[in-house]
């Protein structure tokens, strides 16, 4: 049995940098059953944001008249070329990682599906390896309920392999993944219908965000069907027939499942170990990503403490600090922040209004619609709004949302102030560049009011 100082299962955004860091201290085995780089590189952030950029070009080609630009009709999305473009980015990242592994004499790369034989023994390609420090970085995948397995469904992975634009794409799930793919494929030329079982889109957000996002989708003629409680599908050689609530029938050429994500821990044979998992398959960890078995860590999506590339990378930072420097970086110090990368994008940080109220805070709200921001009007992009949630007692920012042009970038200003634990007045009293969207945040923060009942 071959012995290593460290074993890492998975090459995602936490496992890969950890391998290079730990290789400075000892012998590392890193194992990957699929594509090197994990979700972000292969079928998450990198490829989808390349598609979002292409979709934006299509939108630009059809909206020149609004800004006085006459663009001849006839723009067409070429999905083969769009796919080829994203693959240049994906392959460059993947190849760079693989070369880094190959060039490092302290890293042994295994292409295999790993599973546990015991707490500290891993089977790879009929070979047993061991280490006293093992890091589980297996990520997550799309949930596929049993009732959909009888049709030719798409997931966030397989939809990126299409080379022909769907005639009618039906998306089951009205949250982040479904909305991003829905808008981009509508812009590519598909008819798109989004089916959401709940009474609003992206239910984790406040009502005003859900309503504004629904308006953005509907303005682009994406059909949104809420309260789709009962969904039954059948398929013949030409199409997929979808019955919704026994009252509506839809004929689709393609169906994308964007219902949720589940951890890839089910192939690890954790029943051979003492490692604890939740009822959803997430490895239970403490503030330092440690599982209940000494020397075992879970990092990235499979520990249930984030589900984003930036939280996965922060897991790496937490573990690296714990192992090498004894610096106390902790999961509980992390402020939740993320984006919805539709166009215009949503940037979010901290608590929603509802979460703040549920936690007992006395809150004040600052809000400004993009239609009252000169730079947004000059750009011709006035959808959405900016909003901040303030603790009335401490003047600290509890959360913020920027839905609108540049929202995914602008939100970081709020994030930085929250980490600095500084009151909102620092932002309010600052001097910002004119003319920008951000310069209206201080103006927004001059007018705080209690939430509407």
pLDDT tens digits along 411-430: 999 999 999 999 999 999 99
Report, in this order, helix, strand and coil percent for the chain, each rounded to 5: 35, 25, 40
Q: Which residue numbers are catalytic?
A: 434
Domains 2-140+262-333 and 146-259 share a fold: yes
Q: What is the pLDDT of residue 89?
A: 97
pLDDT of residue 237: 86
- Confidence band (pLDDT; 50, 70, 90) for 453? confident
Predicted local confidence at residue 372, as pLDDT: 97
Res 326: pLDDT: 75
The DSSP symbol for 322 reads I
Mean pLDDT computed over every residue of the chain: 97
Question: What's the average model confidence in pLDDT over 325-329?
Answer: 80
Mean pLDDT of 189-215: 97
- CB-CB contact of 104 with 23 (8 Å): yes
Which pLDDT tens digit goes with each residue over 347-378? 999 999 999 999 999 999 999 999 999 999 99
pLDDT at 328: 83
* Gap between the terminal Cα atoms of the chain: 65
Q: Which residues pair with 9 in a beta bridge?
A: 31, 136
Question: What's the CATH code, domain 2-140+262-333?
Answer: 3.50.50.60
Say what the pLDDT of residue 161 is. 97
158-186 mean pLDDT:
98
**Whether residue 260 has pLDDT greater than 90:** yes
d(CA 308, CA 270): 24
Find the mean pLDDT for residues 218-224. 97
Please tell me the predicted confidence (pLDDT) of residue 145.
95
The confidence band for 327, taking pLDDT boundaries of 50, 70 and 90, is confident
For the chain, which residues make up each domain, given as ranges?
A: 2-140+262-333, 146-259, 337-444
- pLDDT of the residue at 324: 84
Alpha helices by DSSP H, 189-331: 207-219, 309-320
pLDDT in tens, 95-136: 999 999 999 999 999 999 999 999 999 999 999 999 999 999
DSSP state string for 161-174? G--S--SEEEEE--
Please tell me the predicted confidence (pLDDT) of residue 325. 77
Fold of 337-444: Enolase-like; domain 1 (3.30.390)
pLDDT tens, residue by residue, 141-156: 999 999 999 999 999 9
Q: Which CATH architecture has domain 146-259?
A: 3-Layer(bba) Sandwich (3.50)
**Res 450: pLDDT:** 96
């Amino acid at each position: 049995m071959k012995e290593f100082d460290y074993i890492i299962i998975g090459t995602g955004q936490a496992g890969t940098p950890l391998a290079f860091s730990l290789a400075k201290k000892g012998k590392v085995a890193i194992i990957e059953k699929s594509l090197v780089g994990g979700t972000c590189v292969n079928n998450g952030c990198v490829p989808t944001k390349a598609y979002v950029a292409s979709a934006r070009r299509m939108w630009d080609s059809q909206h020149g008249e609004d800004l006085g630009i006459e663009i001849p009709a006839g723009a067409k999305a070429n999905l083969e070329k769009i796919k080829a473009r994203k693959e240049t980015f994906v392959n460059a990242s993947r190849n760079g990682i693989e070369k880094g592994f190959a060039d490092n004499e302290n890293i042994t790369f295994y292409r295999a599906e790993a599973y546990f034989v015991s707490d500290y023994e891993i089977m790879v390609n009929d070979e047993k390896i061991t280490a006293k420090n093992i890091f589980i970085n297996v990520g997550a995948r799309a949930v596929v309920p049993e009732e959909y397995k009888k049709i030719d469904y798409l997931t966030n992975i397989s939809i990126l392999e299409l080379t022909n634009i769907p005639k009618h794409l039906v998306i089951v799930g009205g949250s982040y993944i479904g909305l991003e793919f829905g808008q981009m494929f509508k812009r590519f030329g598909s008819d798109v219908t989004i089916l959401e079982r709940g009474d609003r889109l992206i239910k984790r957000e406040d009502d005003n965000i859900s309503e504004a996002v629904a308006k953005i989708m509907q303005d682009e003629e994406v059909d949104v069907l809420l309260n789709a409680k009962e969904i039954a599908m059948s398929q013949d050689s030409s199409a997929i027939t979808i019955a919704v609530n026994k009252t509506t029938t839809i004929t689709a050429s393609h169906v994308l499942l964007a219902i949720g994500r589940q951890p890839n821990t089910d192939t690890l044979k954790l029943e051979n170990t003492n490692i604890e998992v939740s009822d959803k398959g997430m490895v239970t960890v403490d503030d330092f990503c440690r599982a209940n078995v000494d020397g075992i860590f879970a990092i990235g999506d499979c520990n249930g403490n984030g589900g984003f590339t930036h939280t996965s990378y922060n897991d790496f930072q937490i573990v690296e600090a714990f192992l090498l420097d004894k610096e106390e970086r902790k999961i509980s110090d992390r402020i939740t922040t993320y984006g919805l990368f539709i166009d215009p994008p949503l940037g979010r940080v901290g608590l929603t209004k509802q979460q703040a109220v549920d936690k007992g805070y006395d809150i004040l709200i600052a809000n400004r619609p993009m239609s009252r921001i000169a730079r947004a009007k000059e750009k011709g992009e006035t959808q959405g709004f900016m909003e901040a949630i303030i603790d009335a007692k401490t003047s600290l920012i509890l959360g913020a949302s920027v839905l609108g042009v540049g929202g995914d970038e602008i939100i970081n200003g709020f994030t930085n102030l929250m980490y600095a634990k500084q009151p909102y007045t620092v932002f309010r009293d600052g001097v910002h560049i004119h003319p920008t969207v951000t310069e209206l945040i201080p103006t927004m923060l001059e007018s705080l009011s209690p939430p509407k009942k």
